Chain A
Amino acid sequence: MTTLEDVIARSEHRSWLSRISSQQLFWVFLAAVLACLALSILTDSFATERNLFNVARNFAFVGIIAIGMTAVIASGGIDLSVGSTVVLSAMVISSTMEAGMPFLLAAPLAPAAALLVGLLNGALVAYAGMPPFVVTLGTLSAARSLAMVLSDNKMIWNFGPDHDLLIWVGGGSTLGIPHPLYVLAALALVMSLAFTWTRWGQHLFAIGSNENAALLTGIPVRRMKVSIYMFSALTAGIAGILMAGWLGSVTTNLGQAMELTVIAAAVIGGANLAGGEGNALGAVVGALLIEVIRNSLILLGISTFWQGMFIGTFIVVAVAFDRVRHFRS
């Protein structure tokens, strides 16, 4: 028979190894590392500088938005509109720059447009009490349509006088590391700290855990929700600018279905769709794992049609892992 004292003693004297291994993040990270090791051995092309550079750059976009998505999911919501927000942001910056606006003036307009989408999402969820799934499904459709109107559904590939600057910002690298990766690293660091050490972070998890309790203790739940959806939209807006520079051209199908990859990355990284759990580093590792899978399928010569199968399996395994963990505790 186990007494209360036994249980307390066990939980207090658990080694750091067992504590780490109870974290979903650890296993996802391990899976990503093993996949990288296997690929380095199985293929000549994975561990090349060029391929690693591509992997690093590709996963950064999903990773950046997955951090914003983690905030939304941890607060008990969902944001389906991020893919459309990406194209809206990219279209705002590319069309204003094509019209001759310098980068420094055009760059703030794109996140501003994204923030408006987030404000609309947040206001409808928080003040009108509408379900986030429905609200963001609406803005998913509306924001992409707005991007089409803005560009007349044409590809924009000429970014005006500051063309090279935008290409450098999104597609260039400094010290051999692609610029989007710097943005991702900075965002992951800041948000890891913010989730744990600020009132905003603490209240975000409180809302996701028990919204009624948060209300009763006087947390400004509505304002918090608006700020969370605006943050998620902001990450999509930033990714939109970087992707415009990386691709060198913007079409209205940019970021299509990206919301699903982003949600997958956040969930694989430990964000709980029921709310109350999630972390920034997990979102990054989740995005990394998805990109490594995608990259490995290409390098191994497996049809990329299998990609969805692998990602789907990982999502289900991640959620199943979470269930087992909760069942044990």
Chain B
Amino acid sequence: MSRLSLHSISKSYGAIQALSRVSLAVEPGEVLGLMGDNGAGKSTLVKIIAGNFQPTNGEIRIDDQPASFHNPRDAQRHGIEVVYQDLALCDNLSAASNVFLGRETMRRLGPLRYIDYASMNRVAAGLFRQLKSETRPRDLVRRMSGGQRQAVAIARTLLSEPKIVIMDEPTAAISVRQVAEVLDVIRRLRDQGISVVLISHRMPDVFGVSDRIAVLRRGELVCSKRADRSSPEEVTGLITGAIEAA
């Protein structure tokens, strides 16, 4: 049984074919490293899985059940969470508000409903502890370091006990020490049985944590194989087109 499987996903914008017939599967507790050059279709694929775009053709299955997402909340309801490349944080809101953005905890007071900041802060503090981050829930994101912002973005995905976490370039803009922390977090997610799709340009990071490697080139899937049967050299060849397919 695959946790997430894509069947012949295509996406075109007018005459431009961003993705053509991509089929891919991720097992429970598996880390899939998704690689490809700029414009290869990685971000489009992520946005289709996350419910931001609808595919032109093809089918998404979650636990072998067909699923279709009209917006990010549909995907979240199916247990899919995304850490976006630019982290998608609001600088003027607190860490806890960012974690809960779009699904704030509400309390009732007669006919009125209001945001329960106390409980949001409590839950966010627990998530930051779980991630071993020293981020404090009440702090504004504007004043945070790159690593702390990363923690906020990752904590957001853990809010709903996700099945699949997609990370778009999570190690692109942080220090070496913080990269190691993020990779640790990915391993911890995997150990909890969560499937992770890691999109990255950084070969050592991908080979450091991935169980399987998939490569996109010009909208087509040219490789999907076990990481220990591949090598950085082969993947580089696949990305650039020096190797046709593997």
A residues near B (Cβ < 8 Å) are: 193, 196-199, 202-203, 205-206, 208-210, 212-219, 276-277, 329
Contacts and interface: CB of A to CB of B under 8 A. Distances in A.
Contacts of B143: 329
Nearest to A272: B92
B86 A212 contact: yes
Contacts of B90: 205-206, 209-210, 213-214, 276
B76 A198 contact: no
Contact of A216 (B82, B91, B113, B115): B82
Nearest to A207: B90
A212 B88 contact: yes
A276 B52 contact: no
Contact of B88 (A196, A198, A216): A216
Report which residue of B50, B72, B73, B102 has the largest number of chain A beta carbons within 10 angstroms of its beta carbon: B102
Contacts of B51: 218
Interface of B: 50-52, 71-73, 76, 82, 84, 86-93, 97, 101-102, 104, 106, 113-115, 142-143, 156
B92 A217 contact: no
B93 A217 contact: no
A218 B72 contact: yes
A59 to B, nearest CB: 28
Nearest to A274: B92
Contact of B93 (A197, A209, A216): A209
A209 B92 contact: yes
B101 A214 contact: yes
Contacts of B84: 213, 216
Contacts of B73: 218
B126 to A, nearest CB: 20
Given A202-B97, A329-B142, A210 B91 contact: yes
B152 to A, nearest CB: 11
Which 3 pairs show the lowest CB-CB distances between chains A and B? A218-B72, A213-B88, A209-B90
10 contacts: A196-B115, A197-B115, A198-B114, A198-B115, A205-B93, A206-B90, A208-B92, A209-B90, A213-B88, A218-B76
A206 B93 contact: yes
Contacts of A217: 72, 88, 101-102, 156
Report which residue of B82, B91, B114, B143 has the largest number of chain A beta carbons within 10 angstroms of its beta carbon: B114
Contacts of B71: 218
B88 A199 contact: no
Given A199-B106, A218-B71, A205 B114 contact: no
Contacts of B93: 202, 205-206, 209
Contacts of A202: 93, 97, 101, 104, 115
B52 A199 contact: no
Contacts of B92: 205, 208-209, 276-277
B36 to A, nearest CB: 21
A104 B91 CA distance: 45
Nearest to B141: A209
Contacts of A199: 104, 106, 115
A322 B84 CA distance: 30
A23 B97 CA distance: 21
B114 A206 contact: no
Contacts of A216: 50, 52, 72, 82, 84, 88
Given A203-B102, A210-B89, A329-B143, 4 more contacts: A198-B113, A210-B88, A216-B52, A218-B51
A128 to B, nearest CB: 19
Nearest to B109: A197
